[in-house]
Amino acid sequence: MNDSYTCKVQDPAQFGRVAVVMGGSSAEREVSLDSGRNVLAALRARGVDAHPIDGIPALLDALRAGHFARVFNILHGQHGGGEDGVLQGALESLKVPYTGSGVLGSALSMDKTRSKRVWQSLGLSTPTFAALPRGADVYAAARRVGFPLIVKPACEGSSVGVTRVFAETDLAAAVDLAAKYPGDLLVESLIEGDELTVAILGRQVLPSIHIVPKGAFYDYNAKYVAEDTQYICPGATGAAAEELAALSLAAFDALACSGWGRVDVMRDRNGRNWLLEVNTAPGMTSHSLVPKAAAVAGIDYQELCWRVLETSLKEGV
């Protein structure tokens, strides 16, 4: 490591028995299982008494039986995904410490429409958008936003259900795809430029990553399957890096996020940054972005998992 961080915990026994909760029942189940296996191996390699648990019901049963001291949450998504505040609320009620953001931060971040409304209220830049409840007039919403635009589920991650739309004739197909997922939809201006992501670990902003997919944009395949996506880290330098880091931390704080997370941003052709979303339980797969940024900051994968696990500790512990 080349940063000045001092671990709060020196002895892995201080964490107690740790449940690494993964899988679940969201649309991102397979990604979560992949992330979870990696996290589990890393924690065990550092001597942590960590054990895999698949999904929220099994976790809550084990916690009520007193089997675990804390939870490393690497579930992704909503509706059984553990990233929408529901799991956090259950853990709060059981008084079990856990990694990552609390109830409010998780719930707000999972709902892209509400995230954007908070950012707008604070003057933080985010693309023009229109909320699209089920049955609403998508054509009217698209005319308000203007083409090109993006249609996506308001409460999903990993780019599932996302379509770039350049003409009104393509709207129906885009809505049909997004509507396969639960919840409302979101129509958002398409910002053409560079895709960037900024990881936050505690209060440390890690180096940004400029994502260069082989295809038109950074979709599910480019994130988790393709081997030809380029990751340039740092994605910004000098004053541009400072501006991006400040915006990302402000966006993270605005949504009451804590612990760790990842802020996704578009940088347009004029160099202006636009906030897209915050992920409160980012992927930890071999293709994932937080481990890549951490490595550039001198934090290897095992150390990263240790530090994320430390976010389950209360201040002063």
Residues taking part in catalysis: 28, 158, 224, 262, 264, 277, 279, 283
Q: How many residues are listed for the chain in this entry? A: 317
Q: Quick one: which H or E segment has residue 221?
A: helix 220-224
Task: Say how many C-beta atoms besides its own lie within 10 A of residue 146's C-beta.
Answer: 11
84: closest CA among 107, 105, 104?
Answer: 107
Q: Are 213 and 226 in contact (CB under 8 A)?
A: yes
Buried/exposed code over 288-301 (b: 16+ C-beta within 10 A; e: otherwise): bbbbbbbbebebeb
Rounded CA separation 171/166 (Å): 9
Rounded CA separation 24/61 (Å): 14
Rounded CA separation 233/215 (Å): 20
Q: Are 83 and 30 in contact (CB under 8 A)?
A: no
Rounded CA separation 202/260 (Å): 6
